[in-house]
Amino acid sequence: MATLNKVMLIGNLTRDPELRYIPSGSAVVTFTVAVNRVYKTQTGEKKEQTSFIRVVVWGRRAEVCGEYLTKGSPVFVEGRLQSRDWETQDGQKRNTVEVIADKVQELRLAEDR
């Protein structure tokens, strides 16, 4: 059976990226992208829904994101979904789903360049 795990998002950063280095020396940056969806209800009323998606970027690409992206930056993100589980210090089980990005491109209008 074939499978596919591919994500493409366009949205805006909700805060500045958080760049850190793991003990092996690899860079990792995390940020959250707000993605809006506009739709109409059955009655024809226009509604907007915002999703907040956590994005993780590794290596040199992470360093570039940490250097150039800021809160509010419009970005295109391409990658894959990954889920992970952990246990907090007080024993509570947690899980999350995040995008592991292969590509992050800041979107700028022609007049911004």
Q: Is the pLDDT of residue 16 over 90?
A: yes
Give dist(CA 103, CA 100) in Å, integer: 9
CA gap 32, 56 in Å, rounded: 9
Residue 50: name the closest of 78, 9, 83, 88 by CA: 9
What pLDDT is stored for residue 104 in this prediction? Answer: 97
Q: Which residues contact 70 (CB under 8 A, 6 or more apart)?
A: 13, 16, 17
Indicate if the pLDDT at residue 68 is higher than 60. Answer: yes
Among 5, 65, 6, which residue's Cα sits nearest to residue 30? 65
Q: Indicate the pLDDT class of residue 108, thresholds 50, 70 and 90.
A: confident
| Residue 98 contacts residue 80 (beta carbons within 8 Å) | no
Consecutive H or E run containing 66: helix 59-68
Phi, psi of 110, rounded to the nearest 5 degrees: -55, -40
pTM of the model: 0.86
Q: How many C-beta neighbours within 10 Å does residue 12 have?
A: 15
